[in-house]
Each structure stands twice: as C-alpha cells, then as structure tokens.
Structure 1
Amino acid sequence: MPSKATKLANSIPPEALRNVKIQDMVAEGKCLVRIENLVIFVGQVAPGDVVDLRITKAHKRFMEAAPVHFHQYSELRATPFCQHFGTCGGCKWQHLSYDAQLQYKQQQVEDQLTRIGKVALPEVRRILPSPERLYYRNKLEYTFSGNGWLTETQIKDENAHYDRRVLGFHTPGRFDKILDVEHCWLQAEPSNEIRLFVRDYARQHRLPFGDMVKQTGLLRNLIIRTAESTGETMVILQCYHDDEALLPLLDAIYARFPQITSLNYVLNNKGNETFHDLDVVCYKGKPYIEEDMEGLRFRIGPKSFYQTNSAGAYNLYKVARDFAEIKPTDIVYDLYTGAGTIANFVARQARRVVGVEYVEQAVLDARVNSAINGVTNTEFFAGDMKDMLTEAFTSHHGHPDVIITDPPRAGMHEDVVKRLVELRTPRVVYISCNPATQARDLELLDEVYKVTRVQPVDMFPHTHHVENVVLLELK
C-alpha cells in the first residue's frame, strides 16, 4: 500500500512539473520550489533556472526532485570546471558564480541567526571571500573500492570496459559507492599525481581494493596533507590488515615522490575509517609536516586537526583576534582548542591563554606547538568540555576576561552554554562552521549577552559550507 508521502507525490499533475522556475537557495545548498502547495527541494539548479522536474523522493512534509530538462538558465550560473561535477559528492556549487555563492552564504548566516537564534543582530559584515577558489585545501581523503561507481554515460557505453578498481570520492548520499577521480581541483599537486600513481600501481600489482560493506580487501583509504608555506607533503595509507605487498607499495610511492616528507601507514580493521585510537607508523621521513602562519610554525601530525584551508584560516583567526580585543592583562580561554592554533595565535597579546580540548592527542600537539614557537604563557588541558569548565577549574586557572570558542558542527553542549552564562565573561568570540547550531547556542546565551559583531568567512568555495564569527558582549 502506497505511503501518504507517495500518494502526495503521485497527486502532482505531470504538467505542474514542467517549465518550473526555481525560486530560491535554501539549506544544504539545494533550491526551493512550491508546487500544488507542496515544498520541493531541488539539487544542481540555480535560482532563476526554468526546468522540468522529476520527483526522486517523497517525504511527509516535502519532496525531493531532480532537473530533467532546462528551458532557461539563470544569470547566476557559471560553467562547472570539473569533469566529475554532478556525480562526485564534493563542490556541488560549481554551477554558481562565485559572487552568487558568497551572496547565498551571507544570506544563510543572516537567515539562520535570525530564524533559529531569534536574537537581535547588528548589521552583518560582508562575507570575506576565500583567498583561493581552486586548490585551496591542505587535506584530502580518498577511498579505495573494488566495485567503483559507474556513471550513466559509462553504463550506456556498451563497447567500453571500465576498471572498477577505483580510488576517489563518495557519490552523493552513498557511503558505499566510490567514484574514480581523474583530476581533483581541491588540492594542489602532487596530490593528484600521488593518487593516480597509487591507484595504477595497485591495479598493475593486483593488490586487493577494499570493500566498504564487507570490510574486506587490503587497501582502505589514502590521505594526503600538504603545507603550502613550507612545501611539505604527508601521505597516510590505511589498510585493513598487514600484507607482504604493503612495504613494496610504500617504497614505490617514496621512490616516485621524493618530495614526500612524511610517509605513514595505518592498519585499521574497524567498522569505520577513523584512526585516532590506532597506531600510525611513520615509514619514511618525519612523523609530521609544518605550516607557517604569521611567524608561528605549527606541527601537523597524521591525527592533528588543522583548518583545511590554510589561507582562509588566517583570515578567520585574524577576525577572531580583532573581535577579542585582547589586552596584555587578559586571561583568555580557548575552548575546543584543537592543536592550539588559535591559542598560540593570540598568546602574544594576552597575559595567559588556557586551552581546553576533548582529544588528548590534540592537546599534546598544542603543547608542542607552543614549545617550538617559544610561547610560554599557554596551558592546555584534555577532557570533555562540560566536565572541565567547572567553577573549580576557573577558580584555579583564573576567571577569563575573554573566551574564544570554536566547537565542532554540533555546537556547544547545553551545559557548556549554561556555564558561559554563569561566567559572564565580558567578551565571547564564537567561531562556528555551522551557523544553525551557532544560532541555537546564541538563543541560550541571549539571557546575558548581546551580539555586537557578525563576520561570515568563506573557507570552502563551491560548497554551501560557511564559517561565521560572532562577538558577544554582556548586556
């Protein structure tokens, strides 16, 4: 028996799905249309496009659709630069001009802070563009698959044979389907060259490509990290198990790419690809790369967190430092400090900086980063933020004059927000990679704080993701 959602979808007259003008960009980078009083979300279109649609998914409150024919193209469009656009799960906004991308990211920040946060806002500053629009990432993760995804064009090509052993990215919405990638525009060379060499070597030597569903095979994923300021490159190869073929592969990679300064491997037979709890073996070179920022040098290991757009991160941190207005007598708390990048970045302005982070390895990285830069006024502590930020902690380490908080996408735990309300620190700088959860937290902080500055920052061109920095001051 058809569900209510399916009945709703079937109730739409076919003619209502033809010559539809796309109305606006909404959450998650999709566009919105309303047909027969139904909300329909559409991907790979731009506001102003006139299209014929096909319903792809039916939900109780909305539908999802895909364009099947374009009658008119929007003036906001740009020509996608990547051959994999539309099939690969990344860079979904290539079809929009960069100016349009910035416009919709700014709109996203303003809408979510107003609609979800329900707080009074000052004039939102114009979004800061990314210094680089292509090759802006310093880290990419590729996945091996012995049963690679075929595009519709490839499936229809009956005369061609395609090697299904691939090394690339996930297709949209399919964790188990991997698209082979010939060239990625996100990370500068030698990233593409390394990936293609590893894929071709593995094919030629018949190394078993992984199966994500069955958790079998040898080769699991390949991570490449680069440091633009120093020219260093790190490679991390994840395998499901040890094998006599592993070391010859690593030797071949190092012989072909002597510019690799850190070559590592991980044996991981867990159900997921995270390896923070596993040993990483440094096979060649040193176990880290280094990145420079404003006279500071940051050490980045295989498990380290570092903003993936180095030049964009510098913009972001300068905004945070400017908003904080730190004085030489100030005690600064850096919450969710990661590898201590922000803490060390602002330490020269402060009396003391206290960093708190959940991941113990990140705290070790933060301490090393202070040491190699001769920064002596930082302290770092590992633990769950809601358990760490107690009255006893602040009493022992000093009441903060400024708090900088940069939580993960989920935002801050409600107990942490409540503690910030209790602390009544004069200035709180809230950095977020998810304006929706930031807005939720701002609503709770509105009890004692007012938003006085808002600065969106683009760190991820050609995607809908946006960073946002908010300054909160006591009412």
Structure 2
Amino acid sequence: MIKATVEDFTEEGLGTLRIDGRIIHIPFAYPGDYILVKRTKRRFGRRIATDFELLEPSPLRQIPRCPHFGRCGGCLWQGMKYKEQLRFKAELFERITGISADVRGSPKIWGFRNVSNFIVTTAGIGLKEYGNPLGVVDSVECPIFSKRTREYLNALRGFLKESGLRPWDLRKKRGDVHYLQIKEGKFTGEVMVNLITHVQPTREVLQTFRDYFSFADSLYWSFKADERDDPKGEPGLIAGQPYIRERIKDVVYLIHPNSFFQTNSYALALLLKAVEGFADGERVLDLYSGVGTFGVWLAKRSFTVEGVELNPFAVEMARKNAELNGVDAVFKIGRAEETPIGDYDTVIVDPPRRGLKEAGELLIKSGVERVVYVSCNPKAFRLDYENHLKRAYHVEEAVLVDMFPHTPHVEAVIMLEKK
C-alpha cells in the first residue's frame, strides 16, 4: 500500500503521483488529493490504481451530483470544481500543443448533453464502467444528460419485462436488445427514441414498444446485424417524425439516428460564433462539413459556403438543413484530401479524431490565406501542424470552448494565417 499526494494530470485527465521514480495513474483523483493506493494493475504500459481510498480531499474538489460517479466512465472530473476544470483544460491544451488560449465555459454544466447511449446488458442497463470493458453501471439517472433519464430507463425496463426480449450478453455476444439511444432537442423539447436490437420485432412487440415510449416525437427500431459493441444499426421509423429538430439561436438543425450532431446544444452557439469570428472574406469552403453545422450557420450570416463531406447521408442532411433555413449553401459528396481548393477566402476543417492526414498537404498547396481548424483532439492537431501545416501557416489565434463539462476534453478553434 502507498500513501501519497496526487501531483498532476495526464493528458487523458488521470491524476498522477510518483513513488520511487514510478508514476501511478489514478482515475477520479485530482492534484492535492492525499490518497491510499491499495491495488494497481498494468494497462497499456502504465500502472493504474484500481483500488484506492481518499484520505484528505484536495481543495479543488466538489461533491459530485451523480450517484454513479467513481464507477461510470463518463465523467472523470465531476468531482472537481468547474472553474478548476476550465483552468486545467487550458493547461492541458497548452501542454499538448504549445498554444495558450482562453477557454469559454459551457452555459450549462448539468443536463447539457443532447444524446445518450444506454447499453442494455445482462450485467445491467446504463453506462459503461470505467476501465472495465465488460462492466456496466446499472443506472437510475444521468445528471449531465437529462432530468428525464429515470423516465427513459423505467420505460425501457418495463418494455423489456413485458416483451420478454433478452438484454445483450457482453461475454457470450448474444441477446436481443443492445442499446437504447435517446436524443433530445434541448431548445425545442423534441425527443427521439432509438432501440438498437439484434432481432426484427413482431407486430405485438412493436405495439408494446409504442405504448411504453408514447412520449417520443420520433420512434425508431434499429436492427443490428453485427456483434460489435456500438450503438449502430439500420434504423426503421416506427412512429412519429423521421427527424427531431434542434434550434441554435436563429438556425434550426434536423437530427436523425444516423447523423452526428455536437453533443452540447448550449455551448454549440459559442463554438459556432468562434468559427464565424475567425472566418474571413466572403467565400468559405467547409471541409468535413457533416450535416452542415458550420456551413449552414455561416450561410445564414451571408457567407458564400460550399461544403464537402465523404458520408452521402450526412450530405443529404446538410442539404435538408440548408433548405430548412432558407440559405444558399452547396454541399457535395467528396474526399477532403481530393477536393480542389479554388478561390476561397477561408477554409474550415473539422476533421475526424485522427486529424487531417493527407488533406494537410492539400491545404499547403492551395494558397488559401486562412484556415480555421476545429478540433476535439489536440494531439491530432499538433501532428497535423508539425507534419504539414506549419510549413505554410502560423497560429494567429485560438479559443477553447468547453463542450464536455466534467471531462478532460475540450473543443478548440484555431485560426491559421498564411505565412
């Protein structure tokens, strides 16, 4: 057993302490915590505490609101005061990228998530347990998602009991129901329910499903043909509307089970305004345009926007969003790294977590004066900048937006100017 004070954070948000030259990583612990480490294990080349006791709390601490804190893998930092979370997010971002940036906090830090995927297993129904791929926290609420979480989960449990459908067995990889996905329009009040299953429903089961989730504005049953542990299937509309809507200021977005939308509706306006503030000129190319989140917002503000996205369904959604908002933005199917960059004033890139990769070379050769890089992965940005972008661009300014309270993650908007 080891008694010591937590000294720092890793880039993944784990507390660290050093004993005899060895670094031990402690989840759910913060600098200043005095702890007793009872057990550790080696994982991914690191020594991680699997059992520890908090002897004296750090002054950074607050009482977590969620009863599942400490087991659920969703909120490593919920036990830390919010102003300290913001400070450490900025510090970690600068440690990784070398860029000092102001951080804008989320307008709401509870009930801000507009989507949650509840896993349905023989071990429990709720959210994944931290550090245990087969562990599930049998949940009753989720204060970062919705005040209605208990209602949603009670409806699911009642439906399973009456229908006789079996929860998924993570070990044996068999069962009927795997995930319950709920999406909420925070500013519209609309709710989408999507059940991800490994079976096709009978008429009687579908009626029971409708009865238990009669509050949903959009009700889907998704058939999942593979055994992968993810909330993905082929959705079929059972009742209600094919989309729900979310309104961010004066822009309305359509949301579908298969479409990605930023998870924090309240902080999204801050992110959109940051991108808008960095966009220069009139003509904007929106690479990795997705469902048009940035492109439609900018077109609403009189920019001439063209978007490129590899996913055909996302392009279809972007076009619907443009039509819904009455803006003249053009969205095309294409690979970012193969897109000819013509006479644009600004290029916006919001790449997947792996970063730009080959598309970085495309930007260098393009000659465009300004690039606005949006990233939730500072390591990927650093690699893109060091390996590609810094040959032609320098970092002019950056702002951080906290889209993910109670986690170490932060969204960055970085303005790059041609040298």
The answer (yes or no) to whether the contact 1:340–1:365 under 8 Å persists in 2 is: yes
Out of 431, 437, 442, the position equivalent to 2:374 is: 431
Amino acid at match of 1:250: F
CA RMSD of aligned residues (A): 1.9
The answer (yes or no) to whether the contact 1:331–1:350 under 8 Å persists in 2 is: no
Out of 366, 371, 395, the position equivalent to 2:318 is: 366
* Structure 1 position 299 matched with structure 2 position 254: yes
Q: Using the alignment, how far apart are the partners of 2:318 and 2:188 within structure 1? A: 19
1:180-238 superposed Cα distances (whole Å, 9 cap, x missing partner): 10111122243430222211331354321122343322111110000022111100011
Secondary structure of the structure 2 residue equivalent to 1:367: helix
Q: Using the alignment, how far apart are the partners of 1:471 and 1:350 within structure 2? A: 20
**Corresponding residue for residue 362 of structure 2:** 419
* Structure 1 position 137 matched with structure 2 position 113: yes
* Structure 1 position 253 matched with structure 2 position 208: no
**Corresponding residue for residue 201 of structure 1:** 159
The answer (yes or no) to whether the contact 2:36–2:54 under 8 Å persists in 1 is: yes
**Corresponding residue for residue 331 of structure 2:** 380
The answer (yes or no) to whether the contact 2:117–2:231 under 8 Å persists in 1 is: no
**Corresponding residue for residue 466 of structure 1:** 410
Q: Identity of counterpart residues, as a percentage?
A: 32
**Corresponding residue for residue 22 of structure 1:** 6
* Structure 1 position 107 matched with structure 2 position 107: no
**Corresponding residue for residue 455 of structure 1:** 399
1:73-120 superposed Cα distances (whole Å, 9 cap, x missing partner): 111111111111111111111111111111110101111112xxxxxx
1:268-297 superposed Cα distances (whole Å, 9 cap, x missing partner): 121225576x54211111110011123221
1:372 to partner: Cα distance: 1.3
Q: How many residues align?
A: 417
**Corresponding residue for residue 344 of structure 1:** 296
- The verdict on how the C-alpha distance between 1:59 and 1:216 changes in structure 2, with shifts beyond 3 A counting, is closer
* Structure 1 position 212 matched with structure 2 position 167: no
* Structure 1 position 44 matched with structure 2 position 50: no
1:104-146 superposed Cα distances (whole Å, 9 cap, x missing partner): 10101111112xxxxxx4xx34210011110000000011112
**Corresponding residue for residue 76 of structure 2:** 92
TM-score normalised by structure 2 residue count: 0.94
Q: Using the alignment, how far apart are the partners of 1:412 and 1:21 within structure 2? A: 39
What does residue range 225-304 of structure 1 map to in structure 2 within 5 Å?
225-244=183-202, 246-255=205-214, 257=215, 260-272=216-228, 279-304=234-259
1:46 to partner: Cα distance: 1.2
Amino acid at match of 2:319: R
The answer (yes or no) to whether the contact 1:332–1:350 under 8 Å persists in 2 is: no
Amino acid at match of 1:432: S
Amino acid at match of 2:401: V
Q: Using the alignment, how far apart are the partners of 1:454 and 1:294 within structure 2? A: 23
Out of 216, 222, 239, the position equivalent to 2:180 is: 222
The answer (yes or no) to whether the contact 2:140–2:149 under 8 Å persists in 1 is: no
**Corresponding residue for residue 274 of structure 2:** 319
Q: Using the alignment, how far apart are the partners of 1:72 and 1:275 within structure 2? A: 39
Q: Using the alignment, how far apart are the partners of 1:273 and 1:371 within structure 2? A: 35
1:324-362 superposed Cα distances (whole Å, 9 cap, x missing partner): 13x3xx221111111001001111445521111121100
The answer (yes or no) to whether the contact 1:51–1:67 under 8 Å persists in 2 is: no
The answer (yes or no) to whether the contact 2:129–2:136 under 8 Å persists in 1 is: yes
Secondary structure of the structure 2 residue equivalent to 1:80: coil
Q: Using the alignment, how far apart are the partners of 1:60 and 1:96 within structure 2? A: 26
**Corresponding residue for residue 41 of structure 2:** 57
**Corresponding residue for residue 409 of structure 1:** 353
Secondary structure of the structure 2 residue equivalent to 1:429: strand
Secondary structure of the structure 2 residue equivalent to 1:28: coil
1:229-253 superposed Cα distances (whole Å, 9 cap, x missing partner): 2111100011101143531332222
Q: Using the alignment, how far apart are the partners of 2:189 and 2:138 within structure 1? A: 27
Q: Using the alignment, how far apart are the partners of 2:213 and 2:179 within structure 1? A: 17
- The verdict on how the C-alpha distance between 1:424 and 1:83 changes in structure 2, with shifts beyond 3 A counting, is same
Q: Using the alignment, how far apart are the partners of 2:222 and 2:121 within structure 1? A: 17
1:142-168 superposed Cα distances (whole Å, 9 cap, x missing partner): 11112x1xxxxxxxxxxxxxxxxx321
The answer (yes or no) to whether the contact 1:217–1:240 under 8 Å persists in 2 is: yes
Listed as ranges, the gaps of 5+ residues in structure 1 are 1-13, 115-120, 149-165
The answer (yes or no) to whether the contact 2:182–2:192 under 8 Å persists in 1 is: yes
1:411-430 superposed Cα distances (whole Å, 9 cap, x missing partner): 112x1011111112111111
Amino acid at match of 1:310: S
TM-score normalised by structure 1 residue count: 0.84
Amino acid at match of 2:29: V
Q: Using the alignment, how far apart are the partners of 1:405 and 1:194 within structure 2? A: 36
The answer (yes or no) to whether the contact 1:38–1:62 under 8 Å persists in 2 is: no
- The verdict on how the C-alpha distance between 1:265 and 1:59 changes in structure 2, with shifts beyond 3 A counting, is closer
Out of 192, 201, 215, the position equivalent to 2:150 is: 192
